[in-house]
Amino acid sequence: MLGAVFLTAIGLTSSKLVLFALLIVGGIGIGAFHPEAAVTAGRLIPEQRTRSLSVFMFGGALGLALGPTLSGFVVSRWGLDGLIYLAAPLVGLIFLLRRIGGLAHVATAAPQAASEPRRSLSEMFEGRGLFALSILAICSLRLVPNMAMDKVLSFMLAQRGFDEAAIGQVQSLFLVSASIAMFAMIFRFRSGWERRFMILCPLAGIPLLAVIGWEGCPQWLLLTLLVPTGCILWGTTPAMVSYAQQQFPRGAGVASAITMGLAWGVGGLIQAPITASFQETAVPQHAFWAFIPALLLAGMGAYLLPESKNVDEEQASDQTSTDSRDVLAEA
């Protein structure tokens, strides 16, 4: 609700301070939702955590895909301040979804969450703070092109004479491709492939960015390449979220916050000055070439990570430890 109300109001102010406040509060609403929602999704099918997360993130990708098309249409028709017309329908939709799915969510998620003991941050990280930082760095670099794609596309297409509605449709094409890949992961992904995806997908995205960043790239080729780019770079992100949750099973919420919150934020901070600097040039799409080193480092860094932990073995280990403590306490 915070995101729906505050982010649709950005066109109503000419004050930078008010704009900052709207973006911060709206962003907090979005950021606070994702980690716990990802943990809940991962717990529903713990033995197939990546598939379960793919269902959750598939819905998110669909929303992201609809967003540019919808906002592009509204802005082109009523201007930026017309976004506020979306606030009431979005809030109504939130209440409708809560009404439909709320009772089922409480019935499945609440008992499990209530049975888990409260743990400190050090217990969640299991004494591997540096390892958590390495995952943050790898995921942040992995997400740099994702965070910049819509902005660079808008600069590039505006330079070619596209209007807001057409730009929104092209941005949606990239995100629809991501949702298609996530949908495929629901049915085809095998548990234990998470690290493999974290290595290969960034490396596979490098030649795609190299062609997209080419100044002479024709429009038909650009649109064609956006599909595999969205599939590879965005559609496979559930694997890295699942990997972090498996590495920190006692701190799944913190692991999700790293991969779905901090990593996206840090990736956005990395791409922002790069995107802005190329915006001032005659060839803004050259920014895609500047993102290639980030993907290369992400793939190389993921190669140094350990294999995914077996969820069933981890849970069995936790249960054995709990049983041992109970026996000692009784003795």
Domain containing 272 — which CATH number?
A: 1.20.1250.20
Q: Is residue 58 part of a domain?
A: yes
pLDDT tens profile 51-62: 888 888 888 877
The pLDDT score that the predictor gives to residue 85 is 92
Token pair for residue 54?
């793919």
pLDDT digits (tens, 9 = 90+) for 303-325: 999 987 654 444 444 444 444 45
pLDDT higher at 218 or 51: 218
Q: Which residues of 52-65 are buried (b: 16+ CB within 10 A; e: fewer)?
A: bbbbbbbebbbebb
Per the model's pLDDT, the better-predicted residue between 69 and 122 turns out to be 69
Residue 110 falls within a domain, yes or no? no
Kindly state the DSSP code that residue 12 receives in the 8-state scheme.
G
Q: Which pLDDT does position 163 carry in this prediction?
A: 83
State mean pLDDT over 210-215: 92
Q: Is the residue at 218 inside a domain? A: yes
**Residue 269 forms part of a structural domain:** yes
* Cβ atoms 21, 10 nearer than 8 A: no
Does residue 258 sit within a domain? yes
pLDDT score recorded for residue 321: 45
- The structure tokens 């234990």 sit at 192
More confident residue, 301 or 110: 301
Range of the domain at 67: 2-103+124-307
Q: Tell me if 49 is assigned to some domain.
A: yes
Q: How many angstroms separate the Cα of 252 from the Cα of each of 28, 61, 137, 223? A: 20, 22, 18, 37
